[in-house]
Amino acid sequence: MIGKMADDKESDKKAGNNNSEEEDDEEEEMTNGKSDVEDDDESEFDDLEGFVDDITDEELLGDILSEKPVEVSGTDRVIVVDNVPVIPPDRLEKLKNVIRKVFSKFGKIIMEHYPQDENLHTKGFIFLEFSSAKDAAQAVKTANGYKLDKHHIFAVNHFEDFDRLASLTKDWEPPTKQPYIEQENLRSWLLDEDCNDQYSLIHGGGDKVAIMWNTPQEPTLSKERTNWTETYVRWSPKGTYLATLHHQGIALWGGEEFKRIMRFSHPGVQLIDFSPCERYLVTFSPLADNPDDPQAIVIWDIRSGTKKRGFLCGDQSQWPVFKWSSEGKYFGRLGESSISIYETPSFGLLEKKSLKIPSVKDFAWSPSENIIAFWVPEYKDTPARVTLMEIPSRKEMRVKNLFNVSECKLFWQNKGDYLCVKVDRYTKSKKGLYYNLELFRIREKQIPVEVVEMREVVSAFSWEPGGCKFAVIHGESPRISASFYSLEKEASVALQKTFEKKQVNSIFWSPCGQFCILAGLRNMNGVLEFYDTVDSTCMSQAEHFMATDVEWDPTGRYVATSVSWWAHKVDNGYYIWSFQGKLLQRHTLDQFCSLLWRPRPPSLLSEEDLKNIRKDIKKYQRLFEAKDRMSQSRASKELIDRRRRKMKDFQSIETDELDSNAEEFEDESVEFFVQEEITEVEE
């Protein structure tokens, strides 16, 4: 084009089309880019001497520059997937279908490349290009660590990451040695010389949180802070961490001084749950969710503070939404017609598929093994059934069919030895209900089932921890009864004793078993009855008026009852009782909200060691009784000394006040009438 213009101009000259001198001068001026007018006006636009232009183009033309095209390489949409199966060419199409099924959910795939060797076998890695960089980033974030099978776990990376790694210098520089920071002992409370337990208190309407030692006579303050939490606190299952809830997220505290160990950002968080192993934390926030990056329910790694996976809220009628296996290796979520079992630490679906169980209503993990129990209601001519299934093999260990079922509830014994299924059944006329307790003996061959029929409403059921007994509250007011049963070894269920006409609605077993409290909480005026189930006797009857909560300490030696300000606005406070029902302490706190005992981790002693301790309990008992007497006398002496010091301080203040006011006093004579005597005088 430029050459053609030059030829045209040359031909014009040859044809005699010469420009006039004026035209030549004008052309010269235009060529130089200046004119006389410009020369005259140029001085008017010159910058002042020393002027510095500090206004950037972005400030002047930010809206226009934002639309300026940016050079891109196009590799931001490409990902590399490693650990892909190495297969021959006849199986390549099948592999492509599997890969498309896994990665197409992240976005549209516009290119896929499967490198092959000289034998046309795949090389174990592939390239995928998405329609947008956002889809590629989501695929890297979500699919990395995806378990295709036992031998192939995907490693997904951006293509651009390889360029960055290839540009690294070959000169290795040793990392800077970081100074050692000594961490606090997160189980320091277990080193208490007298083996006292701790508990948390929320009072002042939720403004104050205190950690107390349960010492004799009266508790001792360990730590107290104002506005430590915005709603409530929660101990981890083994007592290592104290979790506090805030609008921005969750904070975990621990150590002797309760310093902050970790924090997790989850705005609007309302509910939390720990895995039994204390490795993971589950948080829930009702704020708006994002289907591309779920934020409603988040699982966090407690040690590193990283987010492991997010889930959509779904049906939030029950909490916790995830149910964990005993060791935290698996966790499950109930769906409409399925149970989704996930495994850690990959947090992917077990075997990449859910358990398809039409109309499943509920499930529960065994507290000791990877076994789930679930129940399915009746459908047409198909009876309801309860199933025990082993995970991860998905083998059905036991199935029990049930008829005329209205509702079922599952109760595991804490060691996983027994399972109780409380069945609400229709009568033949379908106008009433009766109740069955289906008792599964998990440890016995073929898992036999015992049945206890009850014609009255069963309002509460609870297993004895570590034992074979269970307690049931049945009947309606004013004819409420409490019964204690025992599963004997002869494959039968024995009724130990029934206590009639009781005003109770809750059962609380000691963590060590044997001792049990039957309580009438909230609307039953706080009736408390302490039972020893060895001989089924009532050790004590007491009352904590309008009590709302009962909490056993982890050792089973003490129990706390309380009236929460969250439920009642008057008479707020808590009582500490012995396991025999003796009232030890009364504490009235303004706007008291809750009390939670700090859990203890499992004992390091073996069963044989525990048996030997029980065998020599009388020897230890004498030592402990002597120590208790010494501590009580010491506590009494300290209490008396403290009272004497307070009285002495009060008397000194009173004396000082009198001495200071004595100088202001003036002597003043006061006359007042005492009596009147009349004497007659003879004239």
pLDDT in tens, 382-435: 999 999 999 999 999 999 999 999 999 999 999 999 999 999 999 887 778 889
- Comparison of pLDDT for 45 and 274, the residue scoring more: 274
What one-character DSSP code corresponds to residue 104? G
Per-residue confidence band for 4, with pLDDT thresholds at 50, 70 and 90:
very low
**pLDDT value, residue 178:** 85
pLDDT at 6 over 90: no
Kindly report, residue by residue over 320-329, the tens digit of the pLDDT: 999 999 999 9
Tokens of 524: 């039953």
**Beta-carbon count within 10 A of 624 CB:** 11
Q: Is the pLDDT of residue 641 over 80?
A: no
- The stretch 265-269 carries a mean pLDDT of 93
Query: Rounded mean pLDDT of 8-22?
Result: 45
Q: Which of 29-33, 43-47, 363-367 has the highest mean pLDDT?
A: 363-367
- pTM for the whole thing? 0.75
In sequence order, what are the residues at sequence separation of 6 or more whose Cβ sits closer than 8 angstroms to the Cβ of residue 571?
545, 546, 563, 588
Beta strands in 255-394 (DSSP E): 259-265, 271-274, 280-284, 297-301, 307-311, 323-324, 330-334, 338-343, 348-349, 355-356, 362-365, 371-376, 384-390
Confidence of residue 672 (pLDDT cuts 50, 70, 90): low
How many CA within 13 A on the CB side of residue 151?
Answer: 4
Distance of alpha carbon 268 from alpha carbon 284, whole angstroms: 8
Q: Tell me how far CA of residue 477 lies from CA of 436, 473, 508, 681, in angstroms.
A: 20, 11, 20, 89
pLDDT at 24 over 70: no
pLDDT at 355: 94
pLDDT mean over 279-290: 88
CB 293 within 8 A of CB 274: no
What pLDDT is attached to residue 651?
A: 83
Return the residue matching tokens 């016995």: 444
Confidence of residue 168 (pLDDT cuts 50, 70, 90): confident
186 pLDDT band, cuts 50/70/90, is very high
Strands (E), 164-206: 198-203
CA angle 222, 228, 229 (to 5 degrees): 130
pLDDT given at position 450: 93
pLDDT for the residue 68: 67
Question: Residue 588 belongs to what H/E stretch?
Answer: strand 583-588
Q: What is the pLDDT of residue 367?
A: 96
Contact in structure between 562 and 547 (CB atoms under 8 Å): yes
Taking alpha carbons only, the member of 90, 138, 136 closest to residue 112 is 136
- How many whole angstroms separate alpha carbon 2 and alpha carbon 415? 92
Q: How far is CA 361 from CA 204, 338, 406, 410, 458, in A?
A: 41, 9, 12, 11, 20
Q: Is the dihedral of CA 290, 291, 292, 295 positive or negative?
A: positive
Higher pLDDT, 374 or 22: 374
pLDDT at site 674: 64
Instruction: Supply the pLDDT for residue 673.
Output: 64
- pLDDT at position 27: 44
Q: pLDDT tens digit string along 344-360? A: 998 989 988 899 999 99
506: CB partners within 8 A, 6+ apart:
460, 473, 518, 519, 520, 521, 550
Arithmetic mean of pLDDT, 44-50: 58
Q: How confident is the model at residue 662 (pLDDT cuts 50, 70, 90)?
A: low
CA distance linking residue 391 with residue 371, whole number of Å: 6
The DSSP output letter for 132 is S
Q: Identify the pLDDT of residue 16.
A: 45
- Token pair of 241, please? 């961490």
The segment with the largest mean pLDDT, out of 212-221, 280-289, 580-589, is 580-589
Neighbour count for residue 415 (Cβ, 10 Å): 15
Task: Look at residue 332 and tell me whether its pLDDT is greater than 60.
Answer: yes
Helices and strands, counts by H and E, the chain: 9, 43
Most confident of 131-135, 214-218, 526-530: 526-530
| 8 Å CB contact between 446 and 399 | no
Q: What are phi and psi of 437, to 5 degrees?
A: -110, 110
Interhelix angle 607-615/617-662, rounded to 10 degrees, is 80
Q: What angle do CA 649, 652, 654 make, to 5 degrees?
A: 110
Q: pLDDT category, 206, cuts 50, 70, 90?
A: very high
* Apex 406 CA angle, 402 and 408, nearest 5: 70
pLDDT digits (tens, 9 = 90+) for 69-89: 655 556 789 999 999 999 999
- At 661 the pLDDT is 60
Mean pLDDT to the nearest integer, 451-478:
93
Q: How confident is the model at residue 645 (pLDDT cuts 50, 70, 90)?
A: confident
- How many of the other CB atoms lie within 10 Å of CB of 644? 10
Q: Is the pLDDT of residue 104 over 50?
A: yes
Residue 164 banded pLDDT, cuts 50, 70, 90:
confident
With 0-12 CB in 10 A as exposed, 13-18 as middle and 19+ as buried, what is 453? exposed
Average pLDDT, the chain: 86
pLDDT for residue 48: 60
pLDDT of 634: 62
| Residue 40 to residues 27, 45, 350, 523, Cα–Cα distance (Å) | 19, 11, 84, 99
| Average pLDDT for 103-111 | 90
Model pLDDT, residue 245: 96
Amino acid 663: pLDDT: 55
